[in-house]
Amino acid sequence: MICEICGEEMYWDTHEEQTCVGYYSPPGHDHDDNCRKRKYVCKNGHIKIVSKRNRCPNPDCDWVGQETCFCHPGKKVDEWPE
């Protein structure tokens, strides 16, 4: 991922946070829509918070979590940036 401010490469600082809201899932499913956020930084200290959109791991289920959340700006991503 490239920093939108200075154009330098950003890296994950290995810090991850998660909200703690209770969710119900049917047996054999995981419909947990808590936000899992990672902080990415560039060598100039610019920070970007990224949240990944959750999906149910059950292959017969097409449930996906919300696209946005109150706890961070912007839309969630489908995969973590490398």
Report which DSSP code applies to 44. T
pTM for this entry: 0.77
pLDDT at 72: 82
pLDDT at 23: 84
Question: What radius of gyration, in Å, describes the C-alpha atoms of the chain?
Answer: 15
pLDDT of 16 higher than 90: no
pLDDT tens digits for range 22-81: 788 889 999 988 898 999 999 999 999 999 999 999 999 999 999 998 888 889 999 999
Dihedral over Cα of 10, 11, 13, 17: its sign: positive
pLDDT at 5: 97
Q: What is the DSSP string of 53-75?
A: PPB---TT---B--S-BTTBSSP
> Which pair of tokens denotes residue 11?
């890296």
Total domains in the chain come to 1
Query: Order of strands across the sheet with 36-42?
Result: 10-18, 36-42, 47-51
For residue 59, give its domain range: 1-82
